[in-house]
Every structure is written in structure tokens, then in C-alpha cells.
């Protein structure tokens, strides 16, 4: 069976679910991870966290590139140290021969149109890529993203951090499958999962336990399996149910900036279906499969 080629674009380092997603991707036999790019705020530190996870998994062959830290039209503190930059990670080296956007461009340009972009952070890197290098649009097999909320009213983090970049991506014409809060919030990490990871004796899974504990201690709650669900969606077409929607991103509202909305909700019809939105999920089956793969 031919593996699905993916590049993961991530804001690893704040919420622990990015690391869970990368680990899931590397352990999924259906996927071939070509590279990892980081996005939003301190992308260098985020790259170092990704490098550490790859080291523990024996996958130092996978390149990690730091991408863009600033949103397109807003400010961001690019010196902020992510809470999951644990001791020793700040000394790790990532690839610096180019930035994340250039890596994406070169990888896609050299491909046969068979690379899926898995975006599990703000969409700045991909938005800039599509604006500066529109010739690669036809080389993207599809974008599978964690982002947005399509059947509930909520300004989801990845879209809110750079609504302009999200608008570019949604309007690009590239095939998109979006895994939003409508389904991801049905699958939350619990104490039992952290304990199972802690007792695994696998170094990469023990690191996941450390990162989950770090997140809990800083935020006072467990994370959800947001980003792992997007990775799983790349190759599993049965657990998640989708519906084609005409999705726009609100760019101006005082309270609604960053909202992803369906045009039919505001009475202007459903003139296109630019996004396949996740509408339902077999949550228990997904969690079971997630545990099974991570513990391999």
C-alpha cells in the first residue's frame, strides 16, 4: 500500500495536542511524514520541541523548519517561550538552510501533486505560501486542517490567531477538509490516559505524558484531542462524517473576528462548497484507535 505523503505545519509548544498529533502521524502506517514546519510566535523554540520528539522516535531523518512567527496584519511576541520547551530542548538544532515557507514551496514544486498539508496551527505559513507562490496550489493534494467551528458559535484559536491567513486559505480553491471544535471537543484527555502514557516505558510516550502534565499544570484542565483527530482524518474516511459548506472567515467584527461561518446561516445561500467540514464523529472508536496507535 502506498503511503500518504504529509507535511505537518504546527504551533507545537503551547497545547500538548500538537505533540500527540505528530507522534500519531509517525506511528500511523498509512502516512509518510516528509517534514515539519512551525508557525506562530516563537517558531524556533517550537522547532526545538519537535526535534526532541523526533529524536526520541528515532526519526531525525525528518527535517524541521521554523516558519513565520507574526500573523499577517497583527503583532505577536516572537520571543515568548512556549510552556512545553522543557529543560535541554533549547540546545537542539533544527534545519536553518531555509525557512518553513520556502521548504513548503520547494517540497510541493518537486512533488507529483501527492502531498497533503496537515495544518494544526494558525495558517500563516500556508497563507503566505499561497499568496507568494500561487503556482503551487495545483501541487497540493489537499489541506487537512484542525481549525474553526462550523456548527457552533465559537472563535477557534487557530483561525483567531491569523484570520487573514485563514481567509486566504479558505478562498484558495485548494481542496480542504476541516476538523473543527464541533467534533474535537467530544474527545478529551483524562487522568487515565496520562497515567497510561507515564507507565508505557516508551521514551516518546513518556515525553507526551510530560507535555500533557505541563499543560494541565499551566491551564488547570486537560486538553482535547484536537490535532490528533486531523492527523487521523488524513487516512481514515469512516470515523468522521463531513458536509460540504460555503465557509467564510469574519475579518472585522469586534467580537466575531476569526469566526468561521456558513453562508446559509446568514441567509445568502450556499453558492459553493469550498470546505468539507467535520460534522460528526464516532468519538469512542476514535479514542480507542488513538490509544492503540500511540502505544505501539
pLDDT at 68 over 90: yes
| pLDDT value, residue 272 | 76
265 pLDDT tier (thresholds 50, 70, 90): low
How far apart are the C-alpha atoms of 56 and 136, rounded to whole Å? 33
> In the sheet where 240-245 sits, what is the strand order?
64-66, 31-38, 4-10, 115-120, 140-146, 176-179, 275-281, 240-245
Question: Angle at the Cα of 94 (from 91 to 100), degrees rounded to 5?
Answer: 140
| pLDDT value, residue 1 | 74
List C-alpha distances in Å: 55 to 45, 66, 201, 277.
Answer: 15, 17, 16, 34
Average pLDDT over residues 111-135: 98
Average pLDDT over residues 271-294: 95
List C-alpha distances in Å: 241 to 114, 185, 215.
Answer: 23, 15, 30
The count of other CB atoms within 10 Å of the CB of residue 108 is: 22
Q: Which of 115, 294, 143 is nearest to 208 (CA)?
A: 294
Average pLDDT over residues 183-210: 98
Residue 248's H or E segment, with its range, is strand 247-249
Percent of the chain with pLDDT strictly greater than 70: 97
| pLDDT value, residue 17 | 98
Question: Angle at the Cα of 246 (from 156 to 143), degrees rounded to 5?
Answer: 65
pLDDT at 266 over 90: no
Percent of the chain with pLDDT strictly greater than 90: 94
pLDDT at 263 over 80: no
| pLDDT value, residue 268 | 58
pLDDT at 267 over 80: no
pLDDT at 246 over 80: yes
Average pLDDT over residues 75-92: 95
3-state secondary structure of 36: strand
CB 215 within 8 A of CB 223: yes
How far apart are the C-alpha atoms of 18 and 23, rounded to whole Å? 9
Chain center to CA of 160? 14
Model confidence pTM above 0.85: yes
Average pLDDT over residues 53-64: 98
pLDDT at 39 over 80: yes
271 pLDDT tier (thresholds 50, 70, 90): low
pLDDT digits (tens, 9 = 90+) for 223-235: 999 999 999 999 9
Least confident span in 59-68, 145-154, 246-255, 256-265: 256-265
Number of H helices, E strands in the chain: 11, 10
Least confident span in 84-93, 113-122, 255-264, 280-289: 255-264
| pLDDT value, residue 261 | 87
CATH of 2-293, one of 3.40.50.2300, 3.30.9.10, 3.90.245.10, 3.20.20.70: 3.90.245.10
Question: Angle at the Cα of 233 (from 231 to 237), degrees rounded to 5?
Answer: 155
Size (the chain), residues: 296
Q: What is the mean pLDDT of the chain?
A: 96
List C-alpha distances in Å: 64 to 26, 51, 164.
Answer: 14, 7, 25
Amino acid at each position: 500500500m502506498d503511503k500518504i505523503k504529509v507535511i505537518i505545519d504546527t504551533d507545537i509548544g503551547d497545547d500538548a495536542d500538537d505533540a500527540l498529533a505528530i507522534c500519531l502521524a509517525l506511528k500511523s502506517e498509512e502516512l509518510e511524514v516528509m517534514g515539519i514546519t512551525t508557525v506562530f510566535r516563537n517558531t524556533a523554540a517550537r522547532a526545538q520541541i519537535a526535534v526532541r520528539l523526533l529524536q526520541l522516535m528515532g526519526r531525525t531523518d525528518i527535517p524541521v523548519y521554523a516558519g513565520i512567527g507574526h500573523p499577517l496584519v497583527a503583532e505577536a511576541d516572537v520571543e515568548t517561550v512556549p510552556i512545553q520547551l522543557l529543560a535541554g530542548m533549547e540546545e537542539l538544532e533544527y534545519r536553518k538552510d531555509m525557512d518553513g515557507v520556502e521548504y513548503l514551496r520547494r517540497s510541493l514544486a518537486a512533488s507529483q501533486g501527492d502531498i497533503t498539508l496537515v495544518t494544526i496551527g494558525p495558517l500563516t505559513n500556508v497563507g503566505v505560501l499561497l499568496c507568494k507562490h500561487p503556482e503551487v496550489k495545483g501541487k497540493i493534494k489537499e489541506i487537512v486542517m484542525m481549525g474553526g467551528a462550523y456548527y457552533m458559535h465559537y472563535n477557534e484559536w487557530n483561525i483567531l490567531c491569523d484570520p487573514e491567513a485563514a481567509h486566504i486559505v479558505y478562498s484558495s480553491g485548494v481542496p480542504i477538509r476541516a476538523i473543527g471544535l464541533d467534533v474535537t471537543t467530544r474527545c478529551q484527555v483524562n487522568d487515565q490516559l496520562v497515567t497510561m502514557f507515564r507507565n508505557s516505558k516508551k521514551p516518546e510516550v513518556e515525553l507526551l505524558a510530560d507535555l500533557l502534565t505541563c499543560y494541565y499544570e499551566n491551564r488547570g484542565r486537560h486538553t482535547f484531542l484536537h490535532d490528533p483527530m486531523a492527523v487521523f482524518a488524513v487516512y481514515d474516511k469512516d470515523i468522521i462524517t463531513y458536509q460540504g459548506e460555503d465557509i467564510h472567515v469574519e475579518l472585522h467584527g469586534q467580537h466575531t473576528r476569526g469566526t468561521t461561518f456558513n453562508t446559509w446561516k446568514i441567509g445568502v445561500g450556499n453558492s459553493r462548497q469550498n470546505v468539507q467540514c467535520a460534522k460528526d464523529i464516532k468519538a469512542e472508536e476514535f479514542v480507542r484507535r488513538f490509544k492503540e496507535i500511540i502505544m505501539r
